[in-house]
């Protein structure tokens, strides 16, 4: 199936430059290398294939910016003078400041904002959900096809409303999870003995966040005022999914977690 960037018709394979050699950048190199030539540039030479950002972009036909979200706008601005004739995509979790950075790109640069709705623990790109968003210039369709050809489940997203929703789906989930992790940790391991199904489910999630070095940065974006107001709300909210189906799925998830909690229950009994 065709895919090289030639007059903006994708002809496979392409040369893909990934900016950022962290966990997600390394994951992208592994996955993209199954179809494309891939090099990474990182400020840490030990994680970098290219000697400079300029060297990477000069070589690449497609550039994926995979740096922490608070660095993305700065990196895009550094890319702007180099981006002509290329397709540039960010994968930042939050998009604040990115529209202004993309506005600095030359007219012949293509661009789109992308949000992979998974982390570097995913076994492969195939079947994973990826949102693609138009940033006010050509490039969104090319980005959509780029990820679709890799086997991702690609959907269109709205750039303007993206951060509103992600602050509630990701940031708020992180904030609540970290708060629960702190409460449980302060109670000590004895709490495991008294924990039922809800505790097992929530505690597994809460403590899993501690492996993410950026967890606090995500949690800082949470709308805590809205959350506290919801805690004080009276009537039950409208269900977005069928409660009975959710209940069954909840118990299926607990079956997977059971081995984890059996091990830790035995430890708490030895205290």
Mean pLDDT taken over the chain: 92
Instruction: Please report whether residue 250 resides in a domain.
Output: yes
Is the pLDDT score of 139 beyond 60? Answer: yes
177 and 96 together in one domain: no
Parent domain of 131? 15-156
- The count of structural domains within the chain is 2
167 and 151 together in one domain: no
Most confident of 149-163, 190-204, 224-238, 253-267: 149-163
Length in residues, the chain: 271
Last residue in a domain, options 109, 132, 156: 156
Instruction: Please report whether residue 10 resides in a domain.
Output: no
Instruction: Please report whether residue 259 resides in a domain.
Output: yes
Read off the DSSP letter of residue 211. Answer: G
Residue 210: predicted pLDDT: 96
Last residue in a domain, options 122, 156, 190: 156
Residue 234: predicted pLDDT: 76
Within 10 Å of residue 236's Cβ, how many Cβ atoms? 7
Instruction: Please report whether residue 2 resides in a domain.
Output: no
Question: Which is nearest to 82 in space by CA: 54, 113, 112?
Answer: 54
Terminal Cα distance for the chain, rounded = 61
Peptide linkage before 33 cis (omega within 30 of 0): no
Instruction: Please report whether residue 39 resides in a domain.
Output: yes
Q: Quick one: pLDDT band at residue 267, thresholds 50, 70, 90? A: low
Coil vs helix vs strand at 17: strand
List Cα–Cα distances, 24 to 21, 67, 114, 121, 187, in angstroms.
7, 8, 13, 9, 34
- Residue 36 belongs to a domain with what CATH number? 3.40.50.720
Tens of pLDDT, residues 76-115: 999 999 999 999 999 999 999 999 999 999 999 999 999 9
Q: Quick one: pLDDT band at residue 3, thresholds 50, 70, 90? A: very low
149 and 241 together in one domain: no
């Amino acid at each position: 199936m065709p895919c090289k960037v030639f007059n903006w018709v994708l002809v496979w394979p392409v040369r893909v430059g990934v900016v950022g050699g962290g966990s997600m950048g390394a994951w992208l190199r592994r996955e993209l290398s199954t179809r494309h030539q891939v090099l990474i540039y990182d400020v840490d030479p030990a994680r970098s294939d290219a000697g400079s950002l300029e060297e990477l972009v000069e070589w690449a036909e497609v550039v994926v910016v995979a740096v922490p979200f608070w660095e993305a706008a700065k990196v895009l601005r550094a890319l702007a003078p180099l981006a002509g004739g290329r397709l540039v995509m960010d994968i930042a979790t939050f998009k604040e400041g990115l529209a202004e950075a993309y506005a600095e790109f030359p007219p012949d640069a293509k661009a789109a904002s992308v949000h992979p709705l998974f982390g570097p623990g995913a076994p492969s790109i195939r079947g994973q959900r990826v949102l693609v968003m138009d940033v006010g210039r050509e490039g969104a369709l090319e980005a959509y096809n780029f990820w679709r050809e890799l086997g991702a489940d690609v959907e269109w997203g709205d750039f303007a409303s993206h951060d509103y929703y992600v602050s509630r789906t990701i940031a708020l989930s992180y904030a609540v999870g970290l708060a629960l992790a702190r409460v449980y940790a302060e109670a000590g391991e004895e709490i495991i003995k008294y924990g039922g199904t809800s505790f097992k489910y929530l505690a597994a999630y809460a403590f899993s966040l501690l492996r993410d070095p950026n967890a606090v940065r995500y949690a800082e974006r949470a709308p805590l005022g809205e959350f506290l107001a919801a805690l004080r709300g009276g009537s039950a909210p409208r269900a977005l999914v069928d409660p009975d189906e959710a209940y069954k799925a909840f118990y299926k998830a607990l079956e997977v977690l059971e081995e984890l909690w059996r091990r830790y229950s035995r430890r708490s009994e030895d205290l």
